[in-house]
Amino acid sequence: MIQLDIPLGKVAKSLSKVTDEIILYGRAGERLYLIAIDPSQSLLIQIDAGISLDEDFKAGLPVKEVKETSKGVRYTLDYDGGVWSVTYETTSGLKVRKRITGLEPTMPELDAVVDMDSRLVNGEALVDYASISQALGEIDGDSAILRFIQGKPGKLLIVTNRPDKEVEVEVPVSEVSKGFEVRVNPSLLERAIDALEPLTRSFRMGLTEKGVLVIEPSTHSGGTRALIAPLVEE
């Protein structure tokens, strides 16, 4: 029996734009994580479920079956014989129980995913959800440069440049410890912050040694994060 400390329905509603399955995964003596990866394998979302495990656990859960429970306030999961029993209470006090056929996780090497090094070595910025979400609504296309300018407060410029249109959106940022820039798919960035938004309204962003963009809740570290692979300019 798993009692989750996160708003599973709201998270799943956002993750439905990323993938068809959530993987619940953890090792004995360590934390349980919700893991999702988009089909292009350019976006990885890992969420700390808020509990420790007594034994190894790995099972898939269809996102479409869980996203409907976005009004739930407490969630309990049980997995037995390939079937999930999901119980949740709504904000109005209703108790709902579902039995859902589980999925065999398709993501290989889950140990490597959980252990992936996401230390920020190139810059660190504190960004609020509302500002960056509104900024992403002002642009289109599948490539954008995120240019963080050092300062307290700092600044984020989101720049798209196509032969027929160039757009630059300036976003106020509470702090940028060191300037940096990265080119990413803006739709992946939008999905990442939407998936984390039920847990936090502000993020810490930076780059790993390999140039991967890391997004973490400003009040968390390590266990909950989104990783976005950078785009290589042709």
Q: What is the pLDDT of residues 133-153, one digit of tens each?
A: 999 999 988 999 999 999 999
DSSP 8-state class, residue 221: -
Q: pLDDT tens digits, residue range 150-192?
A: 999 999 999 998 888 899 999 999 999 999 999 999 999 999 9
User: What does the domain layout of the chain look like in residue ranges?
Assistant: 2-114, 122-228
**pLDDT level of residue 195 (50, 70, 90 thresholds):** very high
Q: What is the pTM of this model?
A: 0.90
**Inter-CA distances, 93 with 76, 79, 99, Å:** 15, 24, 20
Do the domains at 2-114 and 122-228 have one common CATH topology?
yes
Q: Domain 122-228: give its CATH superfamily.
A: DNA Polymerase III, subunit A, domain 2 (3.10.150.10)
**pLDDT level of residue 220 (50, 70, 90 thresholds):** low
DSSP three-state, residue 168: strand
1: number of Cβ within 10 Å: 9
Asked if pLDDT for residue 1 goes beyond 70, the answer is: yes
Return mean pLDDT, the chain: 89
- What number is the average pLDDT over the span 100-125? 84
Q: Give the percent of the chain with pLDDT over 70.
A: 95
d(CA 79, CA 70): 20
Q: Given this structure, which CATH class describes domain 2-114?
A: alpha beta
Place of tokens 């936090």: 200
